[in-house]
């Protein structure tokens, strides 16, 4: 069984114009690439243990990307990882592709839920962006 580390990770995210941008070099932290089954509590009267049923719906969990803020034109975090007017248009999504090594890829359409720039005393300015998957998520 092969193991993979951060040198094998690649991160590509569409900018607000729909152009895929490789942002790997700007990202220092990333949340879990998680798919969940939606459940409904189905505990009957008289039960002493909670029970649940799978509803048949699945969802990708929000992913937070973070790193050092960079205002490089077109590809820096200031250009790609910031909420724009396009992100507020109903139905607008960005494609997120994360290579995790060995040819395995996480692929999802995402909504940029929020972004922040975090100035720090004595350190470089950071950024964070939260991406909410919408629709099918694949890990191949």
CATH no. for residue 107?
2.40.30
The token pair that represents 127 in the structure block: 């950024």
Domain span including residue 129 = 6-139
- Total structural domains within the chain: 1
> Is residue 44 a part of any domain in this protein?
yes
Q: Give how far Cα 95 sits from Cα of 35, 55, 58, 69, Å.
A: 16, 27, 19, 21
> Is residue 1 a part of any domain in this protein?
no
3 state DSSP class of 63 = strand
pLDDT truncated to tens, each residue of the chain (140 aa)? Answer: 788 989 999 999 999 999 999 999 999 999 999 999 999 999 999 999 999 999 999 999 999 999 999 998 888 888 899 999 999 999 999 999 999 999 999 999 999 999 999 999 999 999 999 999 999 999 99
> Is residue 83 a part of any domain in this protein?
yes
Give the per-residue pLDDT at 75.
85
pTM summary value: 0.89
What's the CA angle centered on 134, arms 74 and 76, to 5 degrees? 15
> Is residue 19 a part of any domain in this protein?
yes
């Amino acid at each position: 069984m092969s193991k993979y580390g951060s040198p094998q990770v690649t991160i590509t995210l569409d900018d607000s114009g729909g152009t895929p941008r490789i942002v790997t070099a700007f990202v220092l932290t990333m949340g879990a690439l998680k798919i969940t089954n939606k459940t409904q509590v189905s505990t009957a009267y008289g039960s002493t243990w909670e029970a649940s049923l799978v509803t048949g719906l699945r969802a990708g969990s929000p992913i937070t990307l973070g790193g050092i803020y960079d205002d490089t034109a077109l590809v820096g975090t200031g250009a790609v990882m910031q909420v724009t007017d396009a992100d507020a248009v109903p139905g607008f999504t960005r494609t997120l592709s994360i290579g995790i090594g060995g040819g395995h890829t996480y692929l999802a359409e995402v909504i940029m839920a929020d972004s922040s720039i975090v100035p720090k005393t004595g350190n470089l300015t950071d950024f964070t962006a939260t991406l909410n998957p919408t629709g099918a998520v694949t890990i191949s």
